[in-house]
Structure 1
Amino acid sequence: MDRNQDNANLLDTHNRLTADIVARFRTLTMLATIQAEASTQNVDPQTIAVTGMSMQMEFEGLNSSVKELLALSRRLKELWLFGRLGDEDERAKAQAEKLDQDVVRVAELVNSIQGNRYTKLAEENGGVWAFMTAANSRNEVTEAPLTQIAPTPGPGTGTGAAPTPMPAP
């Protein structure tokens, strides 16, 4: 079966269930009105009994329609999350691919700008900066030993002495 057909069937089912819920609610309110009026007009017990049974049946139908609508809603959410809803639109696919490419390009530009700023900042302060990679995150590549860190002048109550070197791991 075609996915367009599946999606159309799901929407038709949604519309049918919504209409059924509205119709059953309307019938319930009409039956409740009849039963309320019956107590003031001294209607025979058979009419009241039939109205009560009709209300019970309509309520059960309303309850089952609401459950079906909730199940349909859950199914639509699953289809939406797992990407099977709306896949038939080629324009949407192309737009999603372009968006992914744009996201990658923007990430590259932001990383480049940050890299340039951090490199300049590190060089101004006598240090070296590099992007963290898998190699230098495992301490295989070290740019400068920790004993070469110079104190920076600035406000504070410290002595200005260089930090003590850390033991090697």
Structure 2
Amino acid sequence: MNRDADTAHNLLERKNKLMADLMTYYRDLINTSTEPIPANASNSSAAINSLAMETAMTGFITATEDLLSLTREIRELWIIGSLTKPGAGDEEARQGIKRDAEAVFNAVSALKNEGRLAHIGAPDESPMRYQVGNLEGHPGRAQAGQAPGP
């Protein structure tokens, strides 16, 4: 679903119709249950009254369930947002993920460099010579920035 004005209007119309149905069934239920019983009432009139109450109650329950379904749909639109077509926005999402991954990689790389420098000391304080470089070394090779072997 989308959040355009027509959809909002349709949701409001659905709510109004469901509320009107709910009030109508409630009115019918109250009228049927408070209808006076004639002195010469037969079994058939009692059965008709019972069937009318059952019909009104079933309609009332159905209208309530439909109203609850509508509120769930509105909450879903509110929390999740409008639904898009499959594939729409995929490229923007990929670019955003790539930017986020690069930012995380750079932050982790900077933290590792700081930790490595803290272990071996600053260049002017350490008797060892090292070169600070990128952490993207090959497996099995010494990482740039590590002290050279003997």
Residue 142 of structure 2 corresponds to residue 141 of structure 1: no
Q: Report the residue type matching 1:70 in the other structure.
A: L
- Extract unaligned runs of 5+ from structure 1: 86-132, 146-169
Contact 2:3–2:82 (CA under 8 A) maintained in structure 1: no
Match of 2:30 in 1: 29
Q: CA deviation at 1:50?
A: 0.9
- Equivalent residue of 2:114, what SS? coil
CA contact under 8 A between 2:22 and 2:64: conserved in structure 1?
yes
1:11 corresponding residue in structure 2: 12
TM-score relative to the length of structure 2 = 0.53
Q: What's the offset of the Cα at 1:144? A: 5.1
Equivalent-residue separation in structure 1 for 2:76 and 2:8 (angstroms): 13
1:69-122 CA-to-partner distances (Å, cap 9, x unmatched) read 11111111111122239xxxxxxxxxxxxxxxxxxxxxxxxxxxxxxxxxxxxx
Q: Per the alignment, in what secondary structure is the counterpart of residue 41 of structure 2?
A: coil
Taking the TM superposition and a 5 Å limit, the aligned residue runs for 1:57-68 are 57-68=55-66
Query: Which residues of 2 match residues 76-95 of structure 1 at below 5 A?
Result: 76-84=74-82
CA distance in 1, matches of 2:6, 2:110: 54
Greater than 3 Å deviation, 4+ residue runs? 135-138, 142-145
Aligned to 2:91: none
Q: CA RMSD in A?
A: 3.2
CA drift of 1:67 comes to 1.5
The 3-state SS of whatever aligns with 1:141 is helix
Tell me the distance in 2 between the aligned counterparts of 1:144 and 1:2: 54
- Taking structure 1 as the reference length, the TM-score comes to 0.48
How many residue pairs are counted as aligned between the two chains? 97
Query: Aligned residues: percent identity?
Result: 26
Match of 2:100 in 1: none
CA offset at residue 14 of structure 1? 0.5
Higher relative contact order (CA 8 A, sep 6+): 2
Instruction: Please list every run of 5 or more consecutive structure 2 residues that lacks an aligned counterpart in the other structure.
Output: 84-106, 120-150
Distance (whole Å) between structure 2 residues aligned to residue 2 and residue 135 of structure 1? 42
Residue in 1 that maps onto 2:101: none
> Which structure has greater helix proportion?
1
Distance 2:56 2:39 in 1: 24
